[in-house]
Amino acid sequence: MQLTERDLKILYWINRMRYVTVNQVSKKFKIGVKASYRRLRKLCVDGYLYSLRIFRNKPGVYMCTKKGAEISGSNLWAPKHYVNLANYEHDLKVVDLSIELEQQGEWIAMRELRQDSKIYMIPDGVLIKDGKKIAVEVELTKKSERNLKKKMSYYKKSIDYDEVWYFVSSKAVYDEVEKAAREMDYVKIFYLSEVLKDEQQRAYANR
């Protein structure tokens, strides 16, 4: 198989994100879903990608093999071919969000942050916008008060970020984060539904 420049960009991006769906590839690279599926399938057949079906009624995901990561020029290791079921929805929402936020600036994925940092607490991603370094967190469910306070304590002490943006799924999570971030004016809270324009997410946010 002769790899195109776009193939290499797709492989490189997938390895940055760890795993993605065909719809995300379609949106990111502005190519049709059917064309994206055919190309991803071909990359799987030739050993550059690995496909994994997690849930019967939800999209499968694609991740790079060692061969795919190396040929793309990525300096990140190829991930293990498994998905933590508890993180499936969260991780894919982070990918969706990164596609939107990249229109505003440079996105640094968690895998890149983890490789380049010795810091224990790493955000879901970082957005570089207008000279500001913004930590991005995605919260789909309520966290324990202790865990949230621990994270806010870290951001209070950290000098690495100019702002912290939380993207939440519901009013209950919004209220929880808002309470924990009291007097931290550099913490901004947004509804995922407003950014992703996801009708299902929008309905969930109104619960």
Tens of each residue's pLDDT in the chain, 207 residues:
789 999 999 999 999 999 999 999 999 999 999 999 999 999 999 999 999 998 888 889 999 999 999 999 999 999 999 999 999 999 999 999 999 999 999 999 999 998 876 667 899 999 999 999 999 999 999 888 888 999 999 999 988 999 999 999 999 999 999 999 998 999 999 999 999 975 444 333 433
Domains parsed from the chain with CATH numbers? 5-80 (1.10.10.10), 93-200 (3.40.1350.10)
Structural contact between residues 128 and 108, judged by C-beta atoms closer than 8 angstroms: yes
Q: pTM of the prediction? A: 0.91
* Assigned token pair, 168: 């939440």
* Assigned token pair, 68: 């795919």
* Assigned token pair, 142: 């309520």
CA distance linking residue 69 with residue 136, whole number of Å: 25
